[in-house]
Chains A and B, each alone.
Chain A
Amino acid sequence: MKTLLVRLKALFRRKNLEAEMEEEMRHHLEERTAAHVRAGMPPDEARYAAIRGFGNVDGLKEQARDQWAFAWLEQVLQDLRYALRQFARSPGYTLFVVVTLALGIGSTTAILSAINATILNPLPGRDAERVVMLGERGFVQGREERTGVSPPVLEALQSVRDHFEATTWYESAQIVRKFEDFTTIEVGAWVETEFFDLLGARPLLGRTFLSDEEIVRSGNQPEIDGPIVISHEWWRTFFSGSPEVLGRQVDLGGRRFTVVGVMPAHFRFPNEGVNYWLPAKPERLRPGILRAPNTSVLIKLKPDGMPSQVDVILKGVADRLMSDHPSEVRGYGQWWGLRPNGLQLWHSPLRVHFQDGSGSEELQRTLFGLLATAAFVLLIMCANIANLTLARIERRQHELSIRLALGVGRARLMRQLLTESAVLGVLGGIAGIAVAGAGLRLLATFNTLPRLRPLEVDFRVLGVALLISMSTGPLFGLLPACRVGRLELHRSLARSVSGAVSGMRQFSFRAGLVMVQVSLTVVLLTGAGLMLRSVVKALNVDPGFDPSNLLTIHLNFGGAQRRAPTESADRAAMIAHRNSVLAQLVERYREIPGVKAAGLFRAHYPAENAVLETDGETVEVLRAYTGMGEASYFRTAGIPILAGRAFGREDIGVHSSAVVVSELMASACWPGESAIGKRFRTARVGSTKIAPEIYEVIGVVGDVQPRGFNEHVHPTFYRAIDESTLTGMSPAVLVRTERDPRALIGTLRAVLKATDPDMMLPHITIARQVLFDATKAQRTYRNYLLVFGSVALVLSAVGIYGSLAYSVARRTKELGVRLALGAGRRHVLALVMRDGAGPIGVGIVAGCVGSVWLTRFLTSQLFEVSPLDPFAMAGAIAFLLSVALLACYLPARRATRINPIAALRTE
């Protein structure tokens, strides 16, 4: 330890120590002189004798210095200075390498950091793992689905809140906003007052909600004025980002809200389009009025809380609710009783739910695809750097050989080269951080997924990328450097004979690298091309109907209609009443100017079994009703009729046996034959009792996917009636308008209110919007791919061009000789191109083989695109050929243009 201290001291206080040593020697010398004088010598002679006796002072000093020196550190500093001088001397090379490094490191870091923030670790804060989402296991269209909770469940959860550290909930809000005479629905969220605190989300300006600020609601619409927290987007659009926004007013749904806070740009929860948050009280439980389970509940577990405890607690809540709401009474109990296992609650960490919700397994596969792309980009970057380093060392052979001959020692030389690589790596890394930052900002604008935290550079990723890049240079650059020392010494020294002859061995190594670069690029571009094509296909999937200018109005019967009576006569009366209301409504809608068509639709659940008349086979199908208008639903929605006909006047009504089946049902029930004229009956799933009605198929229509391209499609049959039972899903009216449907929303609502004043506020969706929202993961992915792919393109182009151009430039002297000896210019050009074509051709072939083999792994990601799709590969090859062609041609042209004498003189 003492040794270390002494050495450190020596390093920093060198001058001091030197002075001390001088003084010590001087003292010794004087004493000696004095001793000689005492022995009788004259002073001059004494001094000479002393000096002679003393010996070699400088040698002593040198030895002493050796004891002190932190030798290797000094050498490193020396190496650094030398390296920097070298870089200054060849700025082109330095720039090339730094740019390559920056692009490679920066882009990989950006993409992986983005993935980290949106998919892997979407929640901020250290407690993120403890945030858990709850809900009911619902039953939608015959399939089990995770929904939110309904009011009684929410209320029951309040009673167990002490088991958790915090509880909160939220619902989506859709409130009308009028400005000028245009009415829009603004999407936002009703949140419990602790919502932001539980998520650890802090506002950019102002504050979030206090616990007594809740706004009373009715039917999800605000009843009073109150505070509002707005999104960054709204702040920019309506208040121009002015810092004076706090205290200003926003009008929504006929009420006035005061802005108390603004959320930062990255906070887009619970969904990407959320514009505002309002503090809400839970909806009161009103007898006879059932609300769908739309409330999402979040809890924060105590620090020692375990998921199994949550299981137990939730089961207790569910059981208690089932016994409080018996299933034979109308109301929630009956609803829950329809489910296979009664009321059941699910829970999962919010992070998992986030990942699932943002595209389900799609995003997991996306992750794989992007990671693979990132790996390739890094590989290409490494190949580029390797090639550049090799080229450089080749150039410096002369200098290196001289240094070796002077006795530098190979180890020292290696260390020198290592230092250079390290410095370049650091420079590239710094530039890479800048690129990563810019890249992330770019990605943030593309990203359409809900987010809770900002996209920021993840330094772990940066570190790994940096490590990889810094080790490539030395790895590839030093291998041939070893050989430089050993063999080529005499040849390199006699530089004048060099040219095409020496460096041949290095050249083939570099040719090999070019091959590697080319093949990597081919594979990468093919893969990226395939993925892009797949995404584009997914975005353009035909939903089976025409979504332009189409609105869906989901109705909710209210008031007296809410409570289904027990007497069958009363029920029949209610059904008749509803039917008349619906018929009136559709008729009135058709009469509104600007409305092209209107039709009624109602799906049923749970699924039933269709029992085929021909052979008694059963197929699980869904039933749907399309109202009393003739074919109005199909016509309004633009669903093509594939065979037979749609409903005519004689097919309408409860007594008609006519049904129209979907294409999927036709092929499932009667494969290979026409479905027209076929008959079937129905039975409940799990029961052997077959209903007496016989249905006959009169037409086949296409399948529809109104909720997105990956919505699960069920075999469906349609009947032309309005209502025959009082349970199940509410009816919906489809309206197609001439122009932008949003302009008519107000009118539609007004007509609805006029037709049935008791009806609750309808939930209106725009078909295009729904389809668009379903593809947000795909669109994000596509944008990421585009950005990343472009970077890879640039990197490859730069790298390949650089190496090829350099090889050609090196042969300037040889070409000059050829020209001087009388070779035709074109002949020389052809020679160069041919030599360049070698490694490129091999590289392309290898790349094609590689992609054929590797794209197999992409199959799970590709949507309707075969992994052997030729377009992607053809594109990649075309790109590479053009780059390579340019890389060979341009420098060759330049070389052949030079006066042969000048060419001969170049080094």
Chain B
Amino acid sequence: MTRIELIPGTLDMLILRVLNGGSTHGWGIAGRIGVLSSEILKVEEGSLYPALYRMEQKGWIESEWGASENNRRAKFYSLTRTGRKQLQSEQKNWDQLVAAIGQVMRAT
């Protein structure tokens, strides 16, 4: 199973999707993406945290300090209402994009 590099611009959408399932911390988000994609998608910390900070600035996610599973202090992120709306719109765009590309590729 080779790992494929993330398509630029899709990281935000993935993060939002993951957080939609419940709030978690940075390590947890990276883990979930890996698990959900069957380890095909790997998120570099170098891209994850800047993305998280950026999205927090834009108001799509909010953060709160809490205790992790091992009782360590960690910053938990959760989706905001704006974030939820953003997720929906990005999902729609993605679906349309995929369908279009698929159509082109399948055309004979």
Asked if residues A20 and B72 are in contact (CB atoms below 8 Å), the reply is: no
Asked if residues A23 and B53 are in contact (CB atoms below 8 Å), the reply is: no
User: Nearest B residue to A60 by beta-carbon distance?
Assistant: B49
Asked if B68 CB lies within 8 Å of chain A CBs, one says yes
How far is it, in angstroms, between the C-alpha of A892 and the C-alpha of B44 when the chains are bound?
A: 70
Asked if A59 CB lies within 8 Å of chain B CBs, one says yes
How far is it, in angstroms, between the C-alpha of A25 and the C-alpha of B25 when the chains are bound?
A: 11
A-facing residues in B54-99 (Cβ within 8 Å): 54, 56-59, 65, 68, 70, 72-75
Residues of chain A within 8 A of B26, CB atoms compared: 24, 27-28
How far is it, in angstroms, between the C-alpha of A67 and the C-alpha of B57 when the chains are bound?
A: 8
Residues of chain B within 8 A of A2, CB atoms compared: 57, 59
Asked if B46 CB lies within 8 Å of chain A CBs, one says yes
| Given A27-B68, A27-B73, also A32-B27 (CB < 8 A) | yes
Asked if A64 CB lies within 8 Å of chain B CBs, one says yes
Asked if residues B50 and A27 are in contact (CB atoms below 8 Å), the reply is: no
Asked if B39 CB lies within 8 Å of chain A CBs, one says no
How far is it, in angstroms, between the C-alpha of A31 and the C-alpha of B45 when the chains are bound?
A: 13
User: Nearest B residue to A64 by beta-carbon distance?
Assistant: B53
Smallest CB separation, A168 vs chain B (Å): 65
Residues of chain A within 8 A of B74, CB atoms compared: 24, 27
Residues of chain A within 8 A of B57, CB atoms compared: 2-3, 6-7, 67
**Per a CB cutoff under 8 Å, which of B25, B44, B56 touches A27?**
B25
The residue among B44, B50, B58 with the most chain A CB atoms within 10 A of its own CB is: B50
**Per a CB cutoff under 8 Å, which of A7, A54, A68 touches B45?**
A54
Residue-wise, chain B 18-59 has the 8 Å CB interface mask toward A (1 for contact) of 000000011100000000000000001110011001101111
Asked if residues B75 and A20 are in contact (CB atoms below 8 Å), the reply is: yes
User: Nearest B residue to A10 by beta-carbon distance?
Assistant: B57
Residues of chain B within 8 A of A53, CB atoms compared: 45
Smallest CB separation, B7 vs chain A (Å): 19
**Per a CB cutoff under 8 Å, which of B44, B46, B59, B72 touches A3?**
B59
Smallest CB separation, A252 vs chain B (Å): 80
Residues of chain B within 8 A of A60, CB atoms compared: 45-46, 49-50
Asked if residues A64 and B50 are in contact (CB atoms below 8 Å), the reply is: yes
How far is it, in angstroms, between the C-alpha of A3 and the C-alpha of B74 when the chains are bound?
A: 23
How far is it, in angstroms, between the C-alpha of A315 and the C-alpha of B100 when the chains are bound?
A: 90
Asked if residues A23 and B46 are in contact (CB atoms below 8 Å), the reply is: no
How far is it, in angstroms, between the C-alpha of A32 and the C-alpha of B72 when the chains are bound?
A: 14
Residues of chain B within 8 A of A20, CB atoms compared: 65, 75
Residues of chain B within 8 A of A31, CB atoms compared: 27, 68
| Given A2-B59, A27-B68, A30-B72, also A67-B50 (CB < 8 A) | yes
Asked if A341 CB lies within 8 Å of chain B CBs, one says no
| Given A3-B58, A67-B53, also A56-B46 (CB < 8 A) | yes
| Given A3-B58, A6-B56, also A27-B46 (CB < 8 A) | no
Residue-wise, chain A 873-888 has the 8 Å CB interface mask toward B (1 for contact) of 0000000000000000
Asked if A63 CB lies within 8 Å of chain B CBs, one says yes
Asked if residues A24 and B75 are in contact (CB atoms below 8 Å), the reply is: yes
Q: Give the size range of A's interface with the partner.
A: 20 to 34
Asked if A55 CB lies within 8 Å of chain B CBs, one says yes
Residues of chain A within 8 A of B27, CB atoms compared: 27-28, 31-32
Smallest CB separation, A811 vs chain B (Å): 56
How far is it, in angstroms, between the C-alpha of A64 and the C-alpha of B75 when the chains are bound?
A: 15
Residue-wise, chain A 706-723 has the 8 Å CB interface mask toward B (1 for contact) of 000000000000000000
What is the interface of chain A mostly: helix, strand, loop, or mixed? helix
Smallest CB separation, B48 vs chain A (Å): 9
Smallest CB separation, B29 vs chain A (Å): 10
| Given A3-B59, A20-B75, A23-B73, also A67-B45 (CB < 8 A) | no
Smallest CB separation, B77 vs chain A (Å): 10
How far is it, in angstroms, between the C-alpha of A68 and the C-alpha of B54 when the chains are bound?
A: 9
Smallest CB separation, B66 vs chain A (Å): 11
Residues of chain A within 8 A of B54, CB atoms compared: 67
Asked if residues A59 and B46 are in contact (CB atoms below 8 Å), the reply is: yes
How far is it, in angstroms, between the C-alpha of A31 and the C-alpha of B48 when the chains are bound?
A: 15
Residues of chain B within 8 A of A56, CB atoms compared: 46
Residues of chain A within 8 A of B65, CB atoms compared: 20
User: Nearest B residue to A27 by beta-carbon distance?
Assistant: B74
Asked if residues B50 and A63 are in contact (CB atoms below 8 Å), the reply is: yes
How far is it, in angstroms, between the C-alpha of A23 and the C-alpha of B74 when the chains are bound?
A: 8
Asked if residues A64 and B49 are in contact (CB atoms below 8 Å), the reply is: yes
Asked if residues B46 and A55 are in contact (CB atoms below 8 Å), the reply is: yes
How far is it, in angstroms, between the C-alpha of A652 and the C-alpha of B36 when the chains are bound?
A: 133
Smallest CB separation, B82 vs chain A (Å): 9
User: Nearest B residue to A31 by beta-carbon distance?
Assistant: B27
User: Nearest A residue to B74 by beta-carbon distance?
Assistant: A27
How far is it, in angstroms, between the C-alpha of A23 and the C-alpha of B57 when the chains are bound?
A: 19
How far is it, in angstroms, between the C-alpha of A34 and the C-alpha of B56 when the chains are bound?
A: 27
Residues of chain A within 8 A of B50, CB atoms compared: 60, 63-64, 67
Residues of chain B within 8 A of A68, CB atoms compared: 53
How far is it, in angstroms, between the C-alpha of A200 and the C-alpha of B104 when the chains are bound?
A: 87
How far is it, in angstroms, between the C-alpha of A315 and the C-alpha of B25 when the chains are bound?
A: 89
Residue-wise, chain A 62-78 has the 8 Å CB interface mask toward B (1 for contact) of 01100110000000000
Residues of chain A within 8 A of B59, CB atoms compared: 2-3
Residue-wise, chain A 1-30 has the 8 Å CB interface mask toward B (1 for contact) of 011001100000000000010011101101
How far is it, in angstroms, between the C-alpha of A68 and the C-alpha of B52 when the chains are bound?
A: 12
Residues of chain B within 8 A of A30, CB atoms compared: 72
How far is it, in angstroms, between the C-alpha of A59 and the C-alpha of B44 when the chains are bound?
A: 13
How far is it, in angstroms, between the C-alpha of A54 and the C-alpha of B27 when the chains are bound?
A: 11
User: Nearest A residue to B56 by beta-carbon distance?
Assistant: A6
How far is it, in angstroms, between the C-alpha of A6 and the C-alpha of B68 when the chains are bound?
A: 25
The residue among A2, A25, A53 with the most chain B CB atoms within 10 A of its own CB is: A2
Residues of chain A within 8 A of B73, CB atoms compared: 23, 27
How far is it, in angstroms, between the C-alpha of A28 and the C-alpha of B56 when the chains are bound?
A: 18
How far is it, in angstroms, between the C-alpha of A23 and the C-alpha of B75 when the chains are bound?
A: 9
How far is it, in angstroms, between the C-alpha of A6 and the C-alpha of B61 when the chains are bound?
A: 13
Smallest CB separation, A56 vs chain B (Å): 7
How far is it, in angstroms, between the C-alpha of A23 and the C-alpha of B67 when the chains are bound?
A: 13
Smallest CB separation, B95 vs chain A (Å): 28
User: Nearest B residue to A59 by beta-carbon distance?
Assistant: B46
The residue among B45, B46, B56 with the most chain A CB atoms within 10 A of its own CB is: B45
Residues of chain B within 8 A of A23, CB atoms compared: 73, 75
User: Nearest A residue to B28 by beta-carbon distance?
Assistant: A31
How far is it, in angstroms, between the C-alpha of A24 and the C-alpha of B45 when the chains are bound?
A: 12
How far is it, in angstroms, between the C-alpha of A776 and the C-alpha of B21 when the chains are bound?
A: 88
Residues of chain A within 8 A of B49, CB atoms compared: 24-25, 60, 63-64
How far is it, in angstroms, between the C-alpha of A20 and the C-alpha of B65 when the chains are bound?
A: 9
Residues of chain B within 8 A of A64, CB atoms compared: 49-50, 53
The residue among B44, B50, B53, B73 with the most chain A CB atoms within 10 A of its own CB is: B53
B-facing residues in A636-683 (Cβ within 8 Å): none
Smallest CB separation, A64 vs chain B (Å): 5
User: Nearest B residue to A63 by beta-carbon distance?
Assistant: B50
User: Nearest A residue to B58 by beta-carbon distance?
Assistant: A3
Smallest CB separation, A533 vs chain B (Å): 70
User: Nearest A residue to B26 by beta-carbon distance?
Assistant: A28
How far is it, in angstroms, between the C-alpha of A7 and the C-alpha of B59 when the chains are bound?
A: 12
Residues of chain A within 8 A of B44, CB atoms compared: 55
How far is it, in angstroms, between the C-alpha of A28 and the C-alpha of B30 when the chains are bound?
A: 10
A–B complex contacts, Cβ < 8 Å, 6 sampled: A23-B73, A27-B25, A27-B73, A31-B27, A63-B53, A64-B49
- 8 smallest CB-CB distances across A and B, nearest first, come from A55-B46, A31-B27, A2-B59, A63-B50, A67-B53, A27-B74, A28-B27, A24-B75
Instruction: Knowing that A60-B50, A63-B53, A64-B53 touch, tell me 17 more A-B residue pairs with CB under 8 angstroms.
Output: A6-B57, A20-B75, A23-B75, A24-B25, A24-B74, A24-B75, A27-B27, A27-B75, A28-B25, A28-B45, A53-B45, A60-B49, A63-B49, A63-B50, A64-B49, A67-B50, A67-B57
